[in-house]
Amino acid sequence: MDLLTTLVDKGLRRALPTRDEALAVLATSDDELLDVVAAAGRVRRHWFGRRVKLNYLVNLKSGLCPEDCSYCSQRLGSEAGILKYTWIKPEEAARAAGAGVAGGAKRVCLVASGRGPTDRDVERVAGTIAAIKEQNEGVEVCACLGLLSAGQADRLRAAGADAYNHNLNTSESTYGDICTTHDYADRVDTVQQAQAAGLSACSGLIAGMGESDGDLVDVVFGLRELDPDSVPVNFLIPFEGTPLAKEWNLTPQRCLRILAMVRFVCPDVEVRLAGGREVHLRSMQPLALHLANSIFLGDYLTSEGQAGQADLDMITDAGFEVEGAGTTTLPSHRADVAAAGCGGGGCGPCGEDAGAAEPAAACAPAAVAAAPADGAGARTDLVSVRRRGAGTDLPPNA
């Protein structure tokens, strides 16, 4: 396919595809799927070889969030039967993090529900970071605490945080459809605050919320412009008790096309296969490793993932290898910029722009391979609420 030849060439040069090219990836047929995966896999291997970085989530504070994000089991008014608890102690967080590190994780992601941290919350997280780093030399720590206020990113970096996560989630034009208590611009501002403080920026999306192909391309192009170092690709986990519980719009094939499109648009960033992979990719998860170079090990914030050992076996069986602690994840042109104290990567505001986006053209929403509206055929058995790890007396899954 001429399209794939063009996209591989652009990916190897860090040049930005056109919007039409990105849309065309999402519109490819199932007969072309393996060709799409192979092409995007060439780009992935060029920048990251066959390495897979492992990340581990620790939910510091679960549930009872005042925000109304429709996709979230911790949202205001959620009836999902998730764990609810206030801030866990630093030593408990350190034990949970240690389990992930023992399983091979290089990065520990500390997450707390809520609109954003108070200054006292930042102090709490600073103590947790110290406890984790004292017990796990060389581990990366990423904080994910919601919208940041002035100066908080600087304080987190001074406390030892290496990165900050805040996802854009969906396109600017449709953001108001999934959340009314804050907007897309608030999220962009928080990512930019993290970058300005010298934190490595982590920002991604959630697919499967009923969005069009145009929405997916818009949010990924927005991420490319924002230039985070890592881009988590989440697939909606339709929790019962949330407004999007009936949104079963994804197939394994569509998930792979989305990951391929993200890789072509963001060729040299850490693309992370994140929440919902077990639910929607299922037995095709190993193919996704040809597109993403990073995954979460074990469980997520409020849902259970597959067993940590199964993650490790999957990586080995697919012909990949777990990235070692002494290996630099990012390509040198991005890693050098990050080491210099700039939270951006090498192809955006902090580095040389390798390609300019074409003006966005109006387009009709592309068809989405959707499950029946009544949810028939939906694999609700794969949505399992987390009952172990942080906030419980049971050992974590890692």
pLDDT in tens, 199-238: 999 999 999 999 999 999 999 999 999 999 999 999 999 9
Lowest-pLDDT range, 1-15, 169-183, 366-380?
366-380
- Decide: 302 and 62 in contact? Cβ < 8 Å: yes
Mean pLDDT of the chain: 89
Identify the pLDDT of residue 346: 42
Helix boundaries (H) for the chain: 2-13, 19-26, 33-48, 90-102, 119-135, 152-158, 175-178, 184-196, 213-226, 252-265, 277-280, 285-288, 308-317, 332-339
Q: What is the mean pLDDT of residues 27-51?
A: 98
- Whole-number pLDDT of residue 74: 81
Cα 347 from Cα 342, distance rounded (Å): 12
pLDDT at 17 over 80: yes
Q: Which residues contact 111 (CB under 8 A, 6 or more apart)?
A: 57, 58, 59, 60, 144, 145, 165, 301
Would the pLDDT of 372 be above 90?
Answer: no
pLDDT band at 73 (very low <50, low <70, confident <90, very high): confident
pTM: 0.89
Whether pLDDT at 381 is above 90: no
Mean pLDDT of 72-86: 83
* pLDDT average, residue stretch 70-78: 83
pLDDT reading at 366 higher than 80: no
Mean pLDDT of 365-391: 61
Pair 354, 295: CB distance under 8 Å: no
pLDDT digits (tens, 9 = 90+) for 282-331: 999 999 999 999 999 988 888 888 999 999 999 999 999 999 988 999 99
- 154-186: per-residue pLDDT in tens? 999 999 999 999 999 999 999 999 999 999 999
Confidence at residue 300, expressed as pLDDT on a 0 to 100 scale = 82
CA atoms within 13 A on the CB side of 365: 11
33-37 own/partner pairs: CB under 8 Å, 24+ apart = 33/253, 33/256, 33/257, 35/1, 35/4, 36/4, 36/256, 36/257, 36/260, 37/256, 37/260, 37/287, 37/290, 37/291
Catalytic site residues?
Answer: 65, 69, 72, 109, 142, 202, 272
